[in-house]
Structure 1
Amino acid sequence: MPVHDRSSFENLYAGQPRWEIGRPQTALLAVADRITGAVLDAGCGTGENALYFAGRGQTVTGIDFLAEPITIAKRKAAERGLTATFLVTDALTLKELPEVFDSAIDSGLFHVFGDEDRRRYVDGLASVLKPGGRLFLLCFSDQEPGAQGPRRVSRREIEDAFSRDWVVESIESSRYEVRPDPHDASFRDGGPRAWFVVAKRV
C-alpha cells in the first residue's frame, strides 16, 4: 500500500488498526536503553512508542501524515501528563524538519513505501539524525507467508536501502504484535513476521 493512499489509512483509523495495541512494541522495549537522547518517531500513529520514551524523560517528536492519529496522540500525552511534540507531517519531507535527533524509531512505516519513496525516506532520515545516531526499525518481513498486510521486505532490500550514509549494525527476525481479531484469522501465530533493524548514521 503506498504511503500516500491516504483514504485507506484514514479508513483504518476510523476503527482501531490492529497494530494499535495500547502499548509500545516489545521489540522496541527490548532495546529501550539504546534509544538515547532526542528521539524521532517516524509514522508514530497514536503515539504509544513515542510516549513511552517521553515517559523516560526524553525529548520526543512523533510525526504522522494523518491528522486523526496525531490528535489521539496529543490527547494521550495530556491525559498522561507527558510532554511530547506530535506533528502532522509527511515522512517524505523530513528534510524540512528544523531539528536533528540522536535516535529515530520506525515501527511500521518503512514497508509502506515504493522503491523511489523509500529512497527519499531513508535520505530524509539521514538528514535529521546526528552522525553516530541510530535508527531502530521494525518492518514487515518476506518471511511472512501470504499477501495479507503490507509489502514484504527482504534482508537484501534493507541492506540496499541503507548502503549510503549508514552502517547496518544488525538485522534480526522479530514479530509485530497485533490486536487479536476474531473476524480475521491472519497473523494469529504470535503476530506477523518482521525484521528488527539497527542502523547507524555515519
Structure 2
Amino acid sequence: MSDMPPYRHSGAGNPWRNPDDLYAGRPPWDIGRPQPAFLALAEAGAIQGRVLDVGCGTGEHALMAAGLGLDATGVDLASRALDAARRKAGERGLTARFLCHDARRLAGLGEYFDTVLDCGLFHIFDDNDRSAFVGSLRSVVKQGGRYFMLCFSDRQPGGQGPRRVTRGEIEAAFTDGWRVDSIDPATIDITTDPDGIRAWLVAVTRI
C-alpha cells in the first residue's frame, strides 16, 4: 500500500487545511457502509444510549446507531461530508443529527453521551491535539459511558497515510478518568485495497 493516499481527516486537527477538499471526490475510507468492527459491536449490543460519532464523515456509523433506534449525532468539520450524511439519512428514512463542530471542543455541544464512536479520527492528531481531544471527550461522556475507536496501528507496514499508533500511546492517552478495557487487532476497510488497513479496535470506559 505504498501508494495509499492520506487516509483521513474528519473532525479536527490540521494535517489538511480544508477538510472539504478530501470530499471533492470519494475518499478511500468512505465505503458506503459501517466498518465491520463497529457493526459487530452494534450486533453485540455494545452501542447504547445517546451516541456521538466523532469525525463522522458521511455518517455511516451515526446512521448505524440511528437504525438501532438510538439517539445519534455525528460531528465533523467537512461540510461536504455532512451534507452527504444528511442526504443518506433522508434516503434511508433515519433520524440523526449532523453538526459542523470541532472534536477538540465537544464541551461546546452542552450535551452528554453514553457511547462515542471514532473511526479514523484519533490517529490524525499530533500530541497536543490528541491531549485536547481526549479532554474534550472526557467532558461529554457520561460516567460509565464507552468510547470505541478504530485507528491506524503500528502493525500497518509502509509510511504512507497518518501516523501509526502503538498500544502504549493509547494507554498513555486514556489515563485520567478512563479505563482501557481492550486494545485488539482489527481492520479498517477501504475502497482501494481489499485487504484493508491494519488497525486497533479500542474500548475505553469513562470512570
Distance 1:8 1:74 in 2: 20
Q: Identity of paired residues, percent?
A: 51
Distance 1:163 1:169 in 2: 12
Distance 2:87 2:14 in 1: 25
Corresponding position: 1:105 with 2:110: no
SS in 2 for 1:121: helix
1:6-38 alpha-carbon deviations (Å, 9 max, x no partner) = 446332210101000000000001111101011
Write the mapping of 1:47-58 to structure 2, written as runs, cut at 5 A: 47-58=59-70
Distance 1:85 1:4 in 2: 24
Of residues 108, 113, 136 in structure 2, which corresponds to 1:124?
136
When normalised by structure 1's length, the TM-score is 0.93
* Aligned residue number for residue 30 of structure 1: 40
Tell me the CA shift for residue 78 of structure 1.
Answer: 1.0
Distance 1:8 1:158 in 2: 27
* Aligned residue number for residue 201 of structure 2: 196
Distance 2:40 2:174 in 1: 23
Letter in 1 for 2:196: G
Tell me the CA shift for residue 190 of structure 1.
Answer: 1.4
Moved over 6 A (4+): none
Distance 1:192 1:122 in 2: 24
Aligned length: 195
Corresponding position: 1:160 with 2:172: yes
Of residues 66, 70, 85 in structure 1, which corresponds to 2:97?
85
Instruction: Give 5+ residue unaligned stretches, structure 2.
Output: 1-5
* Aligned residue number for residue 59 of structure 1: 71
CA RMSD of aligned residues (A): 1.3
1:55-74 alpha-carbon deviations (Å, 9 max, x no partner) = 11000010001111011111
Distance 1:21 1:41 in 2: 16
Change (3 A) 1:41 1:145: same
SS in 2 for 1:28: helix
* Aligned residue number for residue 3 of structure 2: none
1:119-163 alpha-carbon deviations (Å, 9 max, x no partner) = 110111111000000001000001101111111100000000001
Of residues 137, 150, 154 in structure 2, which corresponds to 1:138?
150
Tell me the CA shift for residue 189 of structure 1.
Answer: 5.9
Distance 2:152 2:176 in 1: 22
Letter in 2 for 1:18: P
SS in 2 for 1:44: coil
When normalised by structure 2's length, the TM-score is 0.91
1:48-96 alpha-carbon deviations (Å, 9 max, x no partner) = 1110110110000100011110111111111111110100001111111
Letter in 1 for 2:202: V
Tell me the CA shift for residue 98 of structure 1.
Answer: 1.4
* Aligned residue number for residue 21 of structure 1: 31
